Amino acid sequence: ANARVTVHPEARIDRIEPELHGHFSEHLGRCVYDGLWTDDTADEDGFREDVLGLLADLEIPVLRWPGGCFADDYHWEDGVGSREDRPRRRNLFWAQGREDVPEESNAFGTDEFLEFCERVGTEPYLAANVGSGDPQEAADWVEYCNYDGDTELADRRRANGHEEPYGVKYWGLGNENWGCGGQMTPEQYAREYRRFATYVGSMDNLMLDHDLELIACGFENHEWNHRFMEEIGNTNWGVEFPLDHLTLHHYYGRTMSIAEAGEEKYDQFLVEALEMDYHIERIASAINAVATTRDIGVIIDEWGAWHTEAVAENGLEQPGTVIDALSAAAVLDIFNHHSDVMTMSNIAQTVNVLQCLVETDGDEAWARPTYRVFDLYAPHKGNDALTTTVDTPSREVEHGDDDLPFVGASASVAEDGETYVTVTNLDCRDGHTVEVAIEGADAGDADVAAQVLFEGQDPGLEAGASNADEFAADDLGVDVDGDVLTVDLAPSTVAGIS
Ligand code: AHR
């Protein structure tokens, strides 16, 4: 063996919140229209049954909507009530240069989104408009969705077909307010956040049976996060306001074209994906520096591969490939390692856009390789993460400061004591034999089963309607010797061992 993974069952990290496998969908390109919703291949309400089915099978835990940059230009009242009466608006950020989708019809609005979530069986997460909206509008949205009393807004929801409150728990206050959400300084956003949180938080106090979780949007620039948290930490003469999670967005691979990439580019791309680890540590430290009395979770609100193919004019679409899926596996391992600080993460963007899991073309919909990775990692959800150390060869990456470690892994244990280990071979050139040692366990007595993804496939291989099934998991042979399991991992593969 040339790599060794050691799992330390005595060293539990924390629960892997199922929300670490969450999603993000924006009114951008074909994500909502043609992805979640369409007039052509829909059931009677306009939902795509095929997409609904694929997402329901994956048991996605949370879905963030309506943006993204779109969120800070969105006025939720445009998207409720009779569809014929809804106003058409320009899509400020994502229609630029696109003649085919110049406007937002508002056909898919709050009630459609929340019904979609109910059908998929996922928790909704709404991102309120801070950039061009006001606190009243945000508080009204909470009232429309969640209030059960005798008010005009609660009655409007009932008239629109939803008698019971939806009970939306997650509320984001703004998106990238350092950029498209208003170009605010950290101090400015902290003040806006405080103002919005006062009104939205008061709605929470009013509805005693709800428990809202409020989310602030941070930045990949960690100095910005520190200054935001400092300003937030300055309570107003001892008066605190709600802040439950702080987020950042991490995309990688921006300079790589899938069509032109080769092995060296793949290495660099994967190293960029692994920088997720650094960002989680830095944002957690920004929180810890200030939030002594509060428990504030880290959310990676948007993440994934973003290649040069994804240009605004094509609605940020790019091919769904094995190399992207491999990066997702590496990132999900990192999330597991940080289960003590992380409360959620949302890959961008569920359908058709960026590193989506599901792609559509006319009346066809299929799972991309990244979907297979989420499926393989699903047994980790809700388990306790275990400290895992990896001894692996690596390769120097041209033009980069970091080497690419070939083998990555994470492990977790379920309530019934069953351990689950995921192992990646990020080396796109060579196979590696990996020993997995679970300290103190005698695997010889247990039934060991393993599955592998992407064996024998080229990293640049793209999934389409006709070959999507070829990316499904295969059984993988495991050699068991006491507490040591040995697997042979072909180049660019991912394995799950239980
Ligand atoms: O996901 C695409 C865009 O990326 C989002 O609108 C924005 O939040 C981020 O910059």
129: Cα within 13 Å, side-chain hemisphere = 17
Which pLDDT score is estimated for 443? 58
The residue whose CB lies within 8 Å of the most ligand 1 atoms, and thus the one to mutate among 129, 176, 221, 345, is 176
Which pLDDT score is estimated for 202? 86
Strands 450-453 and 62-65: unpaired
Å from CA of 68 to ligand 1 middle: 5
Q: Check if 424 has its Cβ closer than 6 Å to any atom of ligand 1.
A: no
- Do residues 384 and 9 make contact, with C-beta atoms less than 8 angstroms apart? no
pLDDT at 441 over 80: no
- Which of 370, 480, 490, 375 minimizes the C-alpha distance to 424? 490
Tokens of 63: 């879905």
**Closest ligand 1 atom to 179 CA:** 10
Å from CA of 7 to ligand 1 middle: 36
Which pLDDT score is estimated for 40? 59
Look up the CATH number of domain 387-497.
Answer: 2.60.40.1180
302 carries an active-site annotation: yes
Q: Check if 349 has its Cβ closer than 6 Å to any atom of ligand 1.
A: yes
pLDDT at 445 over 80: no
**Closest ligand 1 atom to 70 CA:** 6
Which pLDDT score is estimated for 442? 67
DSSP assignments along 288-313, one per residue:
HHH-SSS--EEEEEEEEE--TT--GG
Question: SS in 3 state form for the chain?
Answer: CCEEEEEEEEEEEEECCHHHHEEECCCCCCCCECCCECCCCECCCCEEHHHHHHHHHHCCCEEEECCCHHHHHCCHHHHCCCHHHCCCEECCCCCCCCCCCCEECCCCCHHHHHHHHHHHCCEEEEEECCCCCCHHHHHHHHHHHHCCCCCHHHHHHHHCCCCCCCCCCEEEECCCCCCCCCCCCHHHHHHHHHHHHHHHHHHHHHCCCCCCEEEEECCCCHHHHHHHHHHHHCCECCECCCCCEEEEEEEECCCCCCCCCCHHHHHHHHHHHHCHHHHHHHHHHHHHHHCCCCCCEEEEEEEEECCCCCCHHHCCCCCCEHHHHHHHHHHHHHHHHCCCCEEEEEEECCECCCCCCEEEECCEEEECHHHHHHHHHHHHCCCEEEEEEEECCEEECCCCCCEEECEEEEEEECCCCCEEEEEEECCCCCCEEEEEEECCCCHHHCCCCEEEECCCCCCCCECCCCCHHHHCCEECCCEEECCEEEEEECCCEEEEEC
State pTM to two decimals.
0.96
Which pLDDT score is estimated for 262? 82
The residue whose CB lies within 8 Å of the most ligand 1 atoms, and thus the one to mutate among 302, 346, 354, is 302
Highest mean pLDDT among 90-94, 162-166, 310-314: 162-166
Q: Check if 31 has its Cβ closer than 6 Å to any atom of ligand 1.
A: no
Point out which residues pair with 390 in neighbouring strands.
5
Mean pLDDT across the stretch 141-150?
A: 96
Q: Check if 218 has its Cβ closer than 6 Å to any atom of ligand 1.
A: no
Per DSSP, 239 falls in state: B
Å from CA of 497 to ligand 1 middle: 35
Q: Check if 468 has its Cβ closer than 6 Å to any atom of ligand 1.
A: no
Highest mean pLDDT among 139-153, 196-210, 393-407: 139-153
- E-assigned strands of 319-430? 342-348, 358-361, 364-367, 384-391, 394-396, 403-405, 407-413, 419-425
d(CA 442, CA 449): 15
Q: Check if 68 has its Cβ closer than 6 Å to any atom of ligand 1.
A: yes
Q: Check if 320 has its Cβ closer than 6 Å to any atom of ligand 1.
A: no
pLDDT at 471 over 90: yes
Complex ipTM: 0.99
Q: What is the residue extent of each domain of the chain?
A: 16-382, 387-497
Domain 16-382 has CATH 3.20.20.80: yes
Per DSSP, the three-state class of 187 is helix
Q: 197: pLDDT confidence band, cut at 50, 70 and 90? A: very high
- In single-letter form, the type of residue at position 26 comes to E
Å from CA of 355 to ligand 1 middle: 12
* The two domains 16-382 and 387-497 share their CATH topology (first three levels equal): no
Tokens of 251: 């995309």
Which pLDDT score is estimated for 235? 64
d(CA 212, CA 154): 17
**Distance of CA 66 to CAs 57, 74, 204, 404, 466, Å?**
23, 8, 21, 36, 31
Q: Looking at 19, 143, 302, 359, which residue is catalytic?
A: 302
d(CA 333, CA 423): 9
Mean of per-residue pLDDT scores for the chain: 93
Closest Cα to atom 6 of ligand 1 = 68
Q: Check if 317 has its Cβ closer than 6 Å to any atom of ligand 1.
A: no
Identify the residue whose tokens are 């060293």: 11
Per DSSP, 486 falls in state: E
Q: 276: pLDDT confidence band, cut at 50, 70 and 90? A: very high
Q: Check if 69 has its Cβ closer than 6 Å to any atom of ligand 1.
A: yes
> What is the enclosing helix (H) or strand (E) of 217?
strand 213-217
59 carries an active-site annotation: no
Torsion of CA 431, 433, 434, 437, to 10 degrees: 170
- E-assigned strands of 35-136? 62-65, 89-90, 103-104, 123-128
Is 161 buried (19+), middle (13-18) or exposed (0-12) by CB count in 10 A?
exposed
Q: Looking at 19, 137, 176, 272, which residue is catalytic?
A: 176
